């Protein structure tokens, strides 16, 4: 059992006070695996988007404390999103940032007649990959590997941090460069290295969706005052690395810090304060600390 003071300190450390309370969030039904989008349309903000209509494509957006880790107060307060992406025909799926409740996440896949074939880790923070945080131990990729033997896909600059936090060795990690593609059955997922929140943060572009971890939220971006953070790199990631992502792609963030659980990139670029500065100098003056 986590005492209230430790719980509140833990949440504040990782979110900088950005995490909403349960009362701030509207009802959330989770993602419907039968819908082409993998998410109820009422939870998406922006213009209509054309997703793949292939019956093979599998996509789930899962909210910590509601869809898994339902009895974990930290998971509920941190409002992490975990994603499952895969190929229904092959029955394979990768989990993006599995933490808090490995059994529950594998259970979601099993209920959908899918199996875990790998992990895509957006970055090394324990609320995304598990590990030690402020004297506590969160479940994550290390516990997952005790149940399934699968590769953990990371960006090369993130390797030393993932090893330190999770205790995994290099043998468990597949180190990538930006632009690499991970295939799950017939589904191709492009990895985009987006440093700034951490040295090797990455986003995943697949079927008109950008799964962004803590690089970009619907409102704001990842913290830049933590070990390995770099505001100048974050500016480059948001304005250069992600420039290739079209406006009609849908942003799926790493936390539910907004009322909506996703939005088109066009709406995000229009409304998110991180896109308001017009120059690097202006951006660093506003967000560089």
Domains of the chain, first to last: 4-37+51-287 (3.60.15.10)
Mean pLDDT of 178-183: 98
Least confident of 5-14, 145-154, 266-275: 5-14
pLDDT of residue 52: 59
Among 38-52, 130-144, 219-233, 250-264, which stretch is predicted with the lowest mean pLDDT? 38-52
Residue 142, pLDDT > 70, answer yes
pLDDT tens readout for residues 221-233: 999 998 899 999 9
Q: Report the pLDDT value the prediction gives residue 51, as an integer from 0 to 100.
A: 57
pLDDT per position as a tens digit, 186-217: 999 999 999 999 999 999 999 999 999 999 99
pLDDT value at 154 more than 70 = yes
Consecutive H or E run containing 10: helix 4-15
Residue 138: other Cβ atoms inside 10 A? 25
Residue 13 has pLDDT above 70, yes or no: no
Question: Which pLDDT score, from 0 to 100, does residue 265 have?
Answer: 98
Question: Would you say 156 and 177 are in contact if contact means Cβ atoms under 8 Å apart?
Answer: yes
Q: Are 44 and 28 in contact (CB under 8 A)?
A: no
Dist CA 132 CA 148 (whole Å): 21
Structure tokens at 244: 């290739």
Structure tokens at 276: 């308001």
What is the structure's pLDDT at 29?
Answer: 34
Q: 3-class DSSP state for residue 223?
A: coil
> Taking 70 as the threshold, does the pLDDT of residue 246 lie above it?
yes
pLDDT over 70, % of the chain: 82
Q: Tell me the average pLDDT across 267-282.
A: 96
Tokens standing for residue 91: 């029955």
Q: How far apart are CA 95 and CA 83, in angstroms?
A: 6
Distance CA 270, CA 261 (A): 17
User: What's the CA gap between 193 and 225, in Å, rounded?
Assistant: 19
State whether residue 141 is helix, strand or coil: helix
pLDDT of 46 higher than 70: no
Q: Nearest to residue 81, comparing CAs of 137, 38, 35, 50?
A: 38
Q: What's the rounded mean pLDDT across residues 12-19?
A: 46
pLDDT surpassing 80 at residue 266: yes
Q: Counting beta carbons within 10 angstroms of the beta carbon of residue 30, is it exposed (0 to 12), middle (13 to 18) or buried (19 or more)?
A: middle
Residue 267 in this model has a pLDDT that exceeds 60: yes
Query: Is the model's pLDDT at 240 over the cut of 70?
Result: yes
Residue 245 has pLDDT above 90, yes or no: yes
Tens of pLDDT, residues 54-103: 789 999 999 999 999 999 999 999 999 999 999 999 999 999 999 999 99
CB 80 within 8 A of CB 68: no
For residue 132, is pLDDT > 70? yes
State the CB neighbour count (10 A cutoff) for residue 74. 21
What is the per-residue pLDDT across 17-42, written as a single tens digit (0 to 9) for each? 344 444 344 443 344 333 434 444 43
């Amino acid at each position: 059992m986590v005492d209230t003071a430790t719980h509140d300190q833990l949440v504040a450390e990782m979110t900088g006070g950005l995490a909403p309370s349960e009362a701030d969030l509207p009802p959330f039904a989770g993602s419907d695996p039968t819908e082409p989008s993998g998410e109820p349309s009422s939870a998406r903000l922006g213009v209509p988007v054309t997703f793949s209509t292939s019956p093979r494509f599998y996509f789930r957006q899962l909210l910590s404390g509601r869809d898994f880790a339902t009895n974990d107060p930290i998971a509920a307060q941190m409002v992490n999103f975990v994603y499952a992406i895969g190929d229904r025909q092959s029955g394979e799926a990768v989990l993006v940032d599995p933490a808090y409740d490995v059994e529950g996440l594998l259970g979601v896949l099993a209920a959908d007649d899918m199996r875990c074939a790998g992990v895509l880790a957006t970055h090394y923070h324990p609320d995304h990959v598990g590990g030690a945080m402020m004297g506590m131990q969160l479940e994550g990729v290390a516990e997952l590997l005790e149940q399934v033997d699968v590769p953990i896909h990371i960006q090369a600059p993130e390797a030393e941090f993932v090893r330190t936090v999770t205790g995994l060795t290099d043998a468990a990690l597949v180190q990538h460069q930006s632009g690499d593609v991970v295939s799950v059955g017939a589904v191709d997922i492009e990895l985009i290295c987006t440093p700034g929140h951490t040295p090797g943060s990455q986003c995943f572009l697949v079927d008109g969706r950008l799964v962004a971890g803590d690089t970009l939220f619907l409102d704001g971006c990842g913290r830049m005052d933590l070990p390995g953070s770099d505001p100048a790199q974050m500016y480059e990631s948001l304005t250069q690395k992600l420039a290739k992502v079209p406006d009609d792609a849908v942003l799926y963030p790493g936390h539910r810090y907004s009322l909506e659980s996703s939005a088109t990139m066009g709406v995000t670029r229009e409304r998110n304060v991180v896109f308001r500065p017009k120059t690097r100098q202006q951006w660093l003056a506003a967000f560089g600390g």
